[in-house]
């Protein structure tokens, strides 16, 4: 059995998935992501206000189940989309991996591409636990959730270039991140270096996102990539803002604290 058959061997649910119906639904309904974002923002700020004078909820068991579910989903997504992307890279090269629209309608990846964009709506539930447990809620958290939801739904409907890279990277980082959250919620002691690794992975993802956007823009000028300037503009702005915010978070959460500890000693 050759590599292509092994890599692109589909499960029955992947074969049965109708990507044309999915893309059509998203083209007709993608603007609902604005409604979800508005309701989410209302909950974030309204919920924090309501919780000010209330005792926090423990919610440890539900949080373990939530994080574990998203971890398993992300692991499968990373493995399946990663297999497709590795195959395209090895057989057709970097340009094809960036510009190929087959990620949206090809074997294996088509189901996971749609699952990815849909998952950005329920992932908003992360913040429910932060609000109800009265944990610190930073700007990066809710800004990231809203903008990823809006951009994912907006991009999927147009099947724009670069999606394979964006989704595979996000699946991979989330596979590690939600596994970490599940372990912490379950009471396991996890090294601080693990958290640092996750943040560095997120920073690397944002750097790669900027690079992929540049490649899409460059090859689009030569009619070799399917995208449009508006999409590249919003995507680049989004990734650059994430890069700045994650770098700032890394400095504040790790470098800054290390310096304070050193001075105290």
Q: Verify whether residue 49 is a known catalytic residue.
A: no
Tokens 């690397």 belong to residue? 204
Closest CA to 79 of 112, 46, 107: 112
Check residue 159 and give left, alpha or beta (phi > 0: left; psi -120 to 50: alpha).
left
Burial 112-123 (b: 16+ CB within 10 A, else e): bbbbbbbbbbeb
How many C-beta atoms surround the C-beta of residue 62 within 10 A? 14
Residues ≥6 apart with Cβ < 8 Å to 210: 236, 239, 240, 243
Whole-number Å distance between alpha carbons of 232 and 213: 6
Whole-number Å distance between alpha carbons of 263 and 137: 27
Q: Give the single-character DSSP code of 221.
A: T
Catalytic residue (choose from 144, 145, 222, 248): 144
Residues tagged active-site: 144
């Amino acid at each position: 059995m050759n590599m292509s058959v092994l890599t692109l061997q589909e499960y029955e649910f992947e074969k049965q998935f109708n990507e044309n119906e999915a893309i059509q639904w998203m083209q007709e309904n993608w603007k609902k992501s604005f409604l979800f974002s508005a309701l989410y923002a209302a909950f974030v700020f309204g919920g924090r206000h309501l919780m000010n004078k209330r005792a926090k909820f423990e919610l440890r068991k539900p949080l373990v189940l939530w994080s574990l579910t998203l971890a398993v989903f992300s692991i499968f997504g990373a493995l399946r989309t990663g297999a497709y992307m590795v195959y395209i890279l090895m057989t057709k090269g970097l340009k094809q991996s960036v510009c190929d629209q087959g990620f949206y309608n090809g074997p294996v990846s088509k189901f996971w591409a749609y699952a990815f964009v849909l998952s950005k709506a329920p992932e908003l539930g992360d913040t429910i636990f932060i609000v109800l447990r009265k944990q610190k809620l930073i700007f990066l958290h809710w800004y990231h959730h809203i903008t990823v939801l809006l951009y994912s739904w907006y991009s999927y409907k147009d099947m724009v270039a670069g999606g394979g890279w964006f989704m595979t990277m996000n699946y991979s980082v989330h596979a590690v991140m939600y596994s970490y959250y599940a372990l912490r919620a379950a009471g396991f002691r996890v090294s601080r270096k693990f958290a640092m690794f996750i943040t560095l992975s997120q920073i690397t993802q944002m750097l790669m996102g900027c690079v992929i956007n540049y490649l899409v823009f460059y090859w689009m000028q030569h009619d070799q990539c399917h995208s449009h300037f508006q999409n590249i503009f919003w995507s680049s702005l989004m990734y650059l803002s994430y890069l700045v915010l994650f770098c700032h978070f890394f400095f504040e959460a790790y470098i800054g604290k290390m310096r304070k500890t050193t001075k105290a000693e």
